Structure 1
Amino acid sequence: MTTEERELIAQAYDQGVLRVLVATCSLAAGVNLPARRVIINGARMGRELVGPAMLRQMCGRAGRKGKDSSGETYLICVKADLEAVCDLLDADMPAIASCLAPEKRGLKRALLEAVATGLVSGFEAIKEYVRCTLLFLSLDKKLVYSIMDSALQELINEGLLLLKDDESYGATLLGQAVVASAFSPEDGLYVHEGLKRALEAFVMDGDMHVFYMFTPLQVAMSNPIDWQVFRDQLDRLDESGLRALQYVGVQPGFVNTMVQSGASLKGTTPDQLKQARVYRRAYTAFQLRDLSNEVPLATIAQRYKTPRGSIQTLAQQCHGFAAGIVKFCQRMNWGMLAAVLDHMRDRLEAGARADLLEMAQVTFVKSWTARLLRENGFKGLRSLAEANPKDLVPILMMRSVKGDVNTYAVRSIPGRHRKISFIQLKQNDREMQVELEE
């Protein structure tokens, strides 16, 4: 589901308009929707039983304090799971674990941030910093110091930290850029490698190269590839787009082979992992390109056989990643590259071509509405602010025919007193309720 749909349903359920809500277990995390009765259909997530913490979180929707006087939870399970489920109900909560543990590689990032921000510099100060962590209280002290030494040496070897003559530590320009962009050291090095190649040969006569660079690695690696769709999109690329993808490592011959063989990407060896990154990012970059070219969300979801909500989530996550890329370039003193990427970041955030960027700044005005307004004579913010609100109603009516969301609001236009406080469009009977406020 899209964000707007989820918000509408959550509000309706919270107000009692909807009495029953069916959802995945993701509803249990971070959404305050209390219920009198919770029915959990199955005790497994995939092949594994849910953990004690997740089970309590899901049960915690029932009978919330301040919302209801009582609550009840039912857990449905198959007979084979009955004994395990009974044990699960009585199980203790798992112990709190440090996110700086070696398998999570969190200490390396924490040390880089501490040094780059000037919190610590000398070795004794770094040791004192580590002694203040949950990791130090959870593991053997000698083991923690060993992990700290290894992390510091890795940061030096990777060019993120340097050891000065007075035996204090300082962040390199690259290390400062990684911290400023909020990337992990591993992601920062990966981004740095790609940006260095872009400085050598950036494909400027198209936008495919930028969309590839703005595709977050974590999002792309979880995005399955439909190779037939991949080949179709490659065939539709112009010369610039094809050249950009070939430059980053996409080979049309390999895509044809994957279509014919029906195989999937492997990621066991370093070379296979690098190849998987390239092709998954390229496939996801096609979706970003369509979003910025005003292709409707439903069309993109159908084209790539992906839920609409996933496409929307991709766009939201890419905004932060793109902002990090721009900040990275600025800290590395790559001003020209930062300027080009910053312009494309605005397009990505607006989901529109360059001529609509100004109009898309208005709250709740997205690409379809901005395009309709422009095609009907409202070329910019000034003309929109000076318009008679009644003249906008027919245009917003056209928006309701094409859009995914039935409720649409346009609020205060910058620099003007006139305001449309609320316009509600009902898609079925086309009834309108318009409140105009001067």
Structure 2
Amino acid sequence: MSQALRELRELGQAAAAADDAALARVVAVLDRVPERGEADRVLDPVRPRLRTLRVPRPLGLPRLLFLPLDGVILPPARWTRGAAAVPRSALMVLAGAVQAALGAEGAAIAAACPRHTIQDDAAIAALGGRLWEPAARLLPEAPPPGWPGIGLNAGDYAGIAALCRPVWRAGPAIWAALSAAAEGPPEALARPALTAAAAGGAGPLTATLATLLLRATAPGLLAQLAAGLEPAARPVALAALDSILAAPPPPFAALDVRAAAEAARLTARRLEDLENCSLLTGEWQRRIQACRRVADEACRAAFLAATEQELVAPAQRLAAAPAVGDTEVAAMEEGARRLRVLEGAGRRLGNTQAYDRALRDLTASLRALGAQATNPEGLRPMDLARSLEILAGPEAAATLLPPGLLGGTEPAARR
């Protein structure tokens, strides 16, 4: 194994174990690797987490070109011949062929891309408007140079090209809907995207629906809209919903507390929309409830772990310290605020009683810790009570203090 390959794999291992900020740094290093093959492979295990975090990855012509197909780009090992999907190993070769066919315009688009990231919606709309539709016209009929070197045959090229062309023609409409995915997306934007893709057949519709569903906050309404386009579209919409229900919950435990809370809110919103989807009755509804339970359990486990990390462990550390300053106490209170946001989001997934139990257990733990706080220069019961008030309310906080001591005012400075 070469030194460069060994270093790439070490970076991949670091990415899997990294916290959110460290993961962003590792990905930034990998994004500077010119040869994408191994870099893409080491990133495959963390792609769901990257999508949840929306790490601002740099834009390049290949990434721009395939944004309308983002939902069906697969690792080569998972890609199967004839599927409405594109193996990741093919992206650079296809993008190179498109850029070459575009000539000076392709070079200009490629030069403009690095000034932006995948979060720059307006820049993507402008550059994509110059790229997607011409790419559909100019993608070569025959496999481009380099195609045999990625382990695919000529027949594979024909099928992948036939999938890409209609989706690229619909690219501007797809991106307009994707940019408004947080609002559903609205029917006024989703319908043109789905209609344009459906004109190319079931495969392009499948790809477009999968891409929109990556971000859609109203997946049920989106699938209903697709199913209503024509009779042949209904099985496509149901297959897309089946994929959503078969997917694992967000990686709550691997996210920082704020990102986990945002993922919980989005998951709850998507599940509520699916529960109201007229396409999904009977056994479908039972599957939705099973997904809700799995997501709820994963989120609660993340909340319990975060409670230990954000509040219990810092309180124990400060309790053992000979002196504690305002900054350290303020940091503990900020951790309680983050936990409160995650708790509120997690309750939307269903099991509110479990959060009540967790807060009672936390209150008991902090009460025991407060009873041991006798050093006037160290952690005080009031410090614990303020954090507990933020997270669990004044009644829970009052159990840590003598009657009447918790009055809602800011604690006095220590020095």
Does TM, scored on the shorter chain, surpass 0.5? Answer: no
Which is richer in strand? 1
Higher relative contact order, chain-length normalized (CA < 8 Å, sep 6+): 2
| TM-score, length basis structure 2 | 0.28
| TM-score, length basis structure 1 | 0.27
